[in-house]
Structures are given as structure tokens and as C-alpha cells.
Amino acid sequence: MARYNFDTSINRRETNSARWDVKENELPLNIADTDFMVMPEIEKAIKNRAAQSCYGYTYVPEKYYEAYIRWWRVRHNTKLEKEWFVFSKSVVASIDSIFKHVGKPKDKVVMFTPVYNVFFNCITNNQLVLQECDFIFENDDIKIDWDKLEKSIKDAKFFLLCNPHNPVGRKFSVDELNKIINLCKENNVYIISDEIHADLDYNKERYLSILSPSIVRYEKTILLISPSKVFNVAGLHSSVAVIPEIKLKEEIQNGFYSDDIGEPNYFAIDPIVTAFNEGDEYVNQLNAYLNENMAFLKEFLLKNLPNIKIIGSNYTYLVWLDISCYESDSNLFVKHLKERTGLVLAPGIIYGKSGDGFVRLNIATPRKNLEDACIRLMKYITEK
């Protein structure tokens, strides 16, 4: 059995890294990619592709969709059909295009908040109207405000779901997903389910896809998936929309082509096929490492900073921290933390108003980086 090394640090400074373009003393644990070496089999697939030395136009072969189908069947007990797939360069690009071609200006979009901040851009870019349905934070747990959701969804066009949820690291149960689906069905609302964090399930209980066999089937369901988070290949720009209703699939596919997001770049296929066909053990070991990182963080906070609470955060590699006992303004907390210690976290306010008083921390990093981050956080709090 191959052993993968998650303790090795890679110097990503001065490499045009969106995350690591920081000062020498700064430690960025804010943006959602990993600091781990890519799976060697993926690197080999890229090198083999590059060795062909002619980087012309390419198309999506059947083996690409077959790799997705195998992965979701084996890992998630979910049967997907080849005819349901549409290639897209990214999940965000897919959401933007769906809003543009399926919706129209002033249509309402409902989302649980706080939520991934780029979703807000997709809504405003297409002149849609946002309806936030804030989570209820109670006893270090995260609950759905069903009354507010039922009222909000009555005149909506879209419900945009993130499962597992970014930034709070929460998955949704069978009952919750079925209730959401039934509400969308009753009100003729399209449901778009972003499941890009699907494989980061280091707890024993796996996440459930919106297309899992235990979930009510609804013809206005759109599943968006990608290997970019779990295999750290976001820069390859490779994802899919999975749409069982064929007319809806064709409408969305035409929109993707119109927006020039429906054709792959030269390196978007082979590495992904390799990841989904050969990556089972890598993901098992990655999740085990993340579980250990989470255990370390919990123990450190409990011992040294007990007033900082981890809320939810049982899935994804993103941890939602309640820092409200020290600062209600998350922008100020993050600003001063960075200035005084060099630790860079994401302020909760960027994920919606209900995110203020929280910060997001990425634990997908070698243990020594996480240990360093904890020491910096403790230094800031004790000297505050």
C-alpha cells in the first residue's frame, strides 16, 4: 500500500499562488486549497500529457465521466449516468452560467448563510436577488431555521446549497435533504447543490449527495462536483454539472458553451481520470491526517484558549471558530491578528452578516504549520 506524505512542506511563495503571495513572516491559512504534495500518480499523468508536446484543442472523452461514475458509486453509494454529465471549467463558473441562462434579473436566490463568499458575486453579477437564511448557532452546534426557509422559498427561483457546507463544515442529513427537496418541489424552485467538498469526510459518517438513493428525486436538481478540493487540483479547471433531467441538462449545456466554459484545457482530463481511478487510498490517508489535525486543534484550544469555540466543523478542511468573546468585528480581529503575528485567517463577515464574530481556519496544512498557527493565535490573544 502506498504511503503518502502530508508532513512535507512545499515552498509556494513567489509561484503566483493566490494563497501564498504574502510577506515572509506571514502564515496564510485562509484560502481553501491544501499545502500537501499532489498525489504522485496525478503528477505522473500531467507529465505524460505534457510529453506529447503538442497542446492543441481537446475534448472530453468517455473515460472522464466513467471515472466520476466509478468514484461516486464506490465512495458515496450514488449511481450517476453518463448522459447526465456536462463538463465545466469550475463549479463557480457553472453557478454563474446557470443563473444567467436559467434565471433572469430580479429572480430570487435562497442560501443558508454564512456561506462561501463568491456565491454572492454570482448572484449580483446576474442581477438576482439574495435571500439569506441564516443558520442558528446554538450550543456550539448549527441548526436550520426551517420557519424562515419555508417563508423565503415561496417566491424563489433557485435554492443554492453547499453540502458539505463552506465555511461551517456541516453536512446535511437524509431528513434535512429530503425536507429541502420537498420544499423546492412544492414551490417549483431549482436546487443547485455544490458538493465540491464531498470527499473531505474524515468523520465516520459519510456525507450524502443530493442524488443519493435515499434522497427524493426532483427533476429541477443540479449537482455540481469537482476533484479540485480533495486532490488539490483547482488550477486544472476541471468540474462537471450532473443533471438527470435531459431538457434541463441540454439548456445548461448550451449555456456553458455560450459562456465558453464547456470545453477543457489540455491538462483538465487525464489527471482527473487518474485521481478518481487511483485515488482511494490517498483520500483515505488524507482524511486520517485531517482528523489528526482537527484533534490537535481541539485539544490545543481546550487547553490554552477555551473561550474560542469550534462550531460544527465535522467535514471539509475548513474550521469555523467563534471568537466573539474577544472581538465581535471579525474584520478587526483578522486585521490585528495579521499585523501582530503574521497569521492570516478569513473573517467571518465576508460569508454574510451572520458570520461576524467568527473566523475560518484551513487545517489542510502540515502539522508544524498548524502548530505554528496555534502558537501565533495564543500569542495574540494573551497579549491582546
Give tens-digit pLDDT for 6-58: 999 888 888 898 899 999 999 999 999 999 999 999 999 999 999 999 999 99
CA–CA gap between residue 80 and residue 139 (Å, rounded): 38
First to last CA, the chain: 48
Q: Are the C-beta atoms of residues 84 and 249 closer than 8 Å to each other?
A: yes
3 contact partners, CB below 8 Å, separation of at least 6: 285
CA–CA gap between residue 105 and residue 223 (Å, rounded): 23
Taking the CA atoms of the chain, what radius of gyration do you get in angstroms? Answer: 21
Residue where the block lists cell 431528513: 175
- Nearest to 349, CA basis, from 330, 336, 324, 333: 330
Q: The domain 27-40+280-383: what is its CATH number? A: 3.90.1150.10
pLDDT in tens, 126-154: 999 999 999 999 887 899 999 999 999 99
Neighbours of 185 (CB within 10 A): 16
- Nearest to 46, CA basis, from 269, 247, 261: 269
Q: Give average pLDDT by consecutive 10-residue segment, the chain, 384 residues.
A: 87 90 95 95 97 94 98 96 98 98 98 98 98 91 95 97 95 96 98 97 83 97 98 97 98 98 97 98 96 96 96 88 95 97 98 96 97 98 86
Residue where the block lists cell 446576474: 126
CATH class of 54-278: alpha beta
Neighbours of 277 (CB within 10 A): 14
CA–CA gap between residue 302 and residue 92 (Å, rounded): 36
Report the pLDDT value the prediction gives residue 300, as an integer from 0 to 100.
Answer: 98
Q: Are the C-beta atoms of residues 305 and 73 closer than 8 Å to each other?
A: no
CA–CA gap between residue 32 and residue 362 (Å, rounded): 7
Report the pLDDT value the prediction gives residue 159, as an integer from 0 to 100.
Answer: 98
Q: Domain limits of the chain?
A: 27-40+280-383, 54-278
Residue where the block lists cell 471558530: 321
244 contact partners, CB below 8 Å, separation of at least 6: 81, 84, 211, 217, 219, 221
- Nearest to 158, CA basis, from 99, 209, 112: 99
